[in-house]
Amino acid sequence: MKKIAVFTSGGDAPGMNACIRAVVRTGIYKGLEVYGINRGYEGMIEGDIKRLYSHSVSNIVQRGGTMLKSARSEEFRTPEGRKKAYENLRSLGIEGLVAIGGDGTFTGAKLFFEEFGIPTVGCPGTIDNDIYGTDYTIGFDTAVNTALEAIDKIRDTAAAHDRIFFIEVMGRDAGFIAVESGIGGGAEFVMVPETQTDLKSVVKSLKNLRKTKTSSIIVVAEGDDLGNAEEIMQKVKTAIKDPEKEFKVTTLGHIQRGGKPTARDRVLASRCGMAAVEGLLSGKTNCMAGVMNQQVVYTSFGDCIGKPKPLIEDHLKLIDILSI
């Protein structure tokens, strides 16, 4: 193998640049030519591909987002689009790919390999931490710390005005950000898609908490079964029936995607990037390089996509115990 290419796809995550940097410099260290594909699969189809050198990735390890940019590609979902992408890679002599992204990225890479046989190793780049085969995903730690900083500030104003705040964090299908930021932020309740939220129990607990606490923080993952934070707040407010109690909602939104990656994310991204290149050179393909129990592991795309990643039970227990 002489030439490889790297790209980012799907939602951006802090640490993607650190991963790109590791891929480029590991590839060069191993004697490879390394190319960057702009805008993910869409750029692959359009031939938006350029050679990268060591200096190309200087001064990016601390930056959020992705220097290669990201885009959704409807055309790549078609056989014609994937054929165009393959022809562009073949014209440059690219023999292997490093795909940085999540489920959608790996689903496309798996299908692409099955049709055209270009070896691909993935790196888990998503703030949601919902990919099987790695303890943590690139960007998750930064997103949690961003949410935590916001929760700390909101708690100050909640306490000052004796308010109940509902804080919505990202997590359409997974509650990892909600759980970890909720524990770290001392939330009274955390609502996540993985568990069924009992509205009556929440209302009862809030009424009891009012005997000892004048304010409360409730962290809501956007995909909770009861709805988003605004919808849940209205249901709780209606059930409590206290005209003197103030209820507020803050939706953190895309602020969780941006910002400088934490040290933990930079190190994780660098390890995964290096492992992806080494995996390609050792003959691995159609798999993701992740880190479990501090060791690099390779997990098939089929398992990454198909196997669920459960929340840590002890974390859910912690929330119940510490909210008393």
Residues with active-site annotation: 128
Q: Which helix (H) or strand (E) holds 248?
A: strand 246-251
Give the CA radius of gyration of the chain.
22
- Nearest-angstrom CA–CA distance, 23 and 123: 10
Show the CA angle centred on residue 100, arms to residues 141 and 4, nearest 5°: 140
Q: How far apart are the first and last CA of the chain?
A: 58
Is residue 82 within 8 Å of 112, Cβ to Cβ?
yes
CA distances to 18, 131, 286 from 105, rounded to whole Å, are 18, 11, 12
- Nearest-angstrom CA–CA distance, 66 and 238: 44
- Nearest-angstrom CA–CA distance, 248 and 230: 9
Helix 103-116 vs helix 79-92: angle between axes, to the nearest 10 degrees? Answer: 70
- Nearest-angstrom CA–CA distance, 197 and 44: 43
Is residue 34 within 8 Å of 51, Cβ to Cβ?
yes
Is residue 169 within 8 Å of 181, Cβ to Cβ?
yes
- Nearest-angstrom CA–CA distance, 66 and 138: 12
Is residue 39 within 8 Å of 12, Cβ to Cβ?
no
Tokens standing for residue 2 = 């002489």
